[in-house]
Amino acid sequence: MGRASAVHGSALTRLEHAWSASPARRRRLTPPGLADFVCDPDQYADSAHRRHTNLLHPKFRGVNLGGWMLLQPWVTPSLFYQFENQPPEKTAMDMHDFCRVLGPEEGNRQLREHWAKWVTEADLEELVAQGINAIRIPVGDWMFEPYKPFEDCTMGSIHELQRVLRICDRIHLRVLIDLHGVRLSQNGFDNSGHAVNITWQERAPRSARANDGVHFSHWPTRSAGWQGSFDPVTMTYSSISWDNIRATVQLLQRIAVSLRGFEAVVGIEALNEPWQYTPIDVLKAFYWDAYWAVRAAAPHWLFVIQDSFRLDEWSGFMKGCPAVALDTHIYQAWFDIRSQQSFLDSSCSWKQRIRAIQADSLPVIVGEWSLATDNCIMWLNGFHDNAPGFPKVQCAMRNCPLPYVSGIPGPPSEGTPNPHGTGDSAPDHGQCPVSRPWDNEDEIETMLAMHKFSAFEEASALGAARVLAQVELMDQWSWLGAHKRGWLPLNITDPPPSLLNICYAAGADSHFSGTDPGLPWYNSLPSAHTSSPVLLLMGVGMGTLIGIAAMFKMVLALFMKGSHGRKTTQDAMQLPPRLLHLARKSQGRKPSGLGVLGLKQRVSSRSLAQLAFPLMNPQHTIVEADEDMADDDSLLGTPRPTRRTCSDDEVER
């Protein structure tokens, strides 16, 4: 199937013809003739595979550089105070409008200072010292193919990206480039760089808590335009922007051509969090074509697809294709109110789910996660906005962070500023909303981190604590912040068995497939269940010992109950027989460890891929009109071979 598809044309083209020929096709899930999207593994067994296998070891343990190249108000609120108490045309809720409102000169001035301060060499070296061996860098398509309003506003972004890549080359920190935002937005949310379809209102809606000021609505009208025209009545796409999607495929190849010379860059993620209403056949065809396009340019790269918060839709997809992984994002911040125990249990429930997905489809990367258990952090669901029904808990307030970029205002010291969205999330008299700390905050955050490590270690690559460190408001969303609080291991290079076995020892290793239809942007949420309170006693240092005690107590409890039945009271210890089954099943068995870093990468298909996606002409190499590039020999200099036996058209590092 892989060979036929590569030689006879793109999946997008064939799917477009099928949609055009029969409108009824739009309700089906797979295009004719491309039902499986699978590769023949026999055609990749060659020496080239063996040369590149070492690039995938050891297992990824990384963080995201969130809020750096692609601004998000909740990550860097101090950059967005300047847009409060402004009329709609002067209000910026995302990076698109940040550039539109400020204009190219002032916008670029602020961005350059932000880029330089948000990610420093010292930050990256600190991460390496903590055992981090990889970073995921979110980027926007406008960086590589500028268009308004980003065109001059983001001038210098490629230069800054090169700066960090050179540091990563030097300190041996691997990089996954993540296409986080595209033109017209792939999900309609600000994390794509453009919050689409915001509706401004002259008067406050009845549901609004604020009775004065400027009001807007986003959640009821949100949609994504990258895919095509969306019908909010039927909640389906009435037409698909095939040319727009193909342009993104071509852009991904151009990024690969431009960055493949950096030793640190080991792969690319095709698109972050595509809207879950994207037709699955269209999304699969896009990934399939993008895979071959990138492979033609950088056969040694890992290619990552994002699950679109539909983790179960990818069974068998791209099976047998070398160097492919599936990224899933696992958060508890959108859960209903729960006990501490249920958060620990639901963390461990992902261990078996990840194992099942990897056995049936692709190696899994947990690309984003956090320690947050609520939506309280300001602007998480949008600038001066909140998703309907959130937050579900009572939040706390703390002093708002002051700007680190010069020449911009701080938070208003009086009142609650405009505008007002569907829900409440805004500064109030210089105070910003954050999570209310647990009474035993240090203990529970440490426990939660350990349970997530144990569960996510099942995946091929441990993902990220959402952002690097400079989340300005809460350490639960920041790796470096959580590390400084003592919630994380000193070094995660070789996690001890006592940490990795916490979920096994606790018995909380079950699969839950419950979903919450009220959260269309989020993945299938594991249902809560109650497990042994012994879990609350477990820590990294005593995990193994207490794990044995927990198993003994479990067997003893089951024996004592005998034929009297199991207690069902709220405070009774729930010890179902499945725990014994899982314990027996896991004896003498190591976690698979199969994954991105253990995946056998074969590259003999490079010439085959080039038949379908020939490399673009040299004059199409990404060029940025930037004075910083004049003396920079990183992307646009004379091509020469690198240490990776690249071809003559390799871009100079």
Report the catalytic residues. 273, 368
For residue 529, count other CB atoms closer than 10 A to its CB: 15
Residue with tokens 């065809």: 285
Distance CA 183, CA 248 (A): 9
The Cα–Cα gap between 143 and 179 comes to 10
As a whole number of angstroms, the distance between CA 68 and CA 74 comes to 12
The pair of structure tokens assigned to 424 is 């409440």
Place of tokens 């809207």: 275
Side chain identity at residue 559, one-letter code: F
The distance of Cα 218 from the centroid of its chain, to the nearest Å, equals: 22
Residue given tokens 């204009």 in the structure block: 103
Q: Is-cis flag, bond preceding 31, omega within 30?
A: no
- Pick from 305, 427, 403: nearest CA to 363: 305
Residue with structure tokens 């399939």?
288
Instruction: Decide if 168 contacts 124 (C-beta within 8 A).
Output: yes
Sequence-distant (6+) residues with CB within 8 A of 171 are 124, 125, 128
For 123, what's the count of Cα atoms within 13 Å in the CB-facing half-sphere? 20
Listed in sequence order, the residues at least 6 apart from 252 whose beta carbon sits closer than 8 Å to its beta carbon are: 179, 268, 270, 290, 293, 294
Buried b (16+ CB within 10 A) or exposed e, 268-288: bbbbbbbbbbbbbbbbbbbbb
Q: How far apart are CA 290 and CA 301, in angstroms?
A: 13
Residue in the structure block whose two tokens are 């047998």: 320
Parallel, antiparallel or unpaired: strands 265-269 and 174-181: parallel
Q: Does residue 352 contact residue 509 with C-beta atoms inside 8 Å?
A: yes
Q: What is the largest CA-CA distance in the chain?
A: 81
- Give CA–CA dist 88/271, Å, rounded: 30
Would you say 221 and 197 are in contact if contact means Cβ atoms under 8 Å apart?
yes
Which residue in 426, 445, 327, 432 sits closest to 386, CA to CA?
426
**How far, in Å, CA of 240 to CA of 244, rounded?**
9
Burial of residue 310 (number of CB atoms within 10 Å: 0-12, 13-18, 19+): middle
End-to-end CA distance of the chain: 36
| Distance, CA of 629 to CA of 163 (rounded, Å) | 12
- Name residues whose C-beta falls within 8 Å of residue 81's C-beta, 6 or more positions apart in sequence: 400, 403, 408, 409, 410, 411, 412, 427
Residue 400 near residue 432, CB atoms below 8 Å: yes
Is residue 328 within a helix (H) or strand (E), and if so which, with residue range? strand 324-330
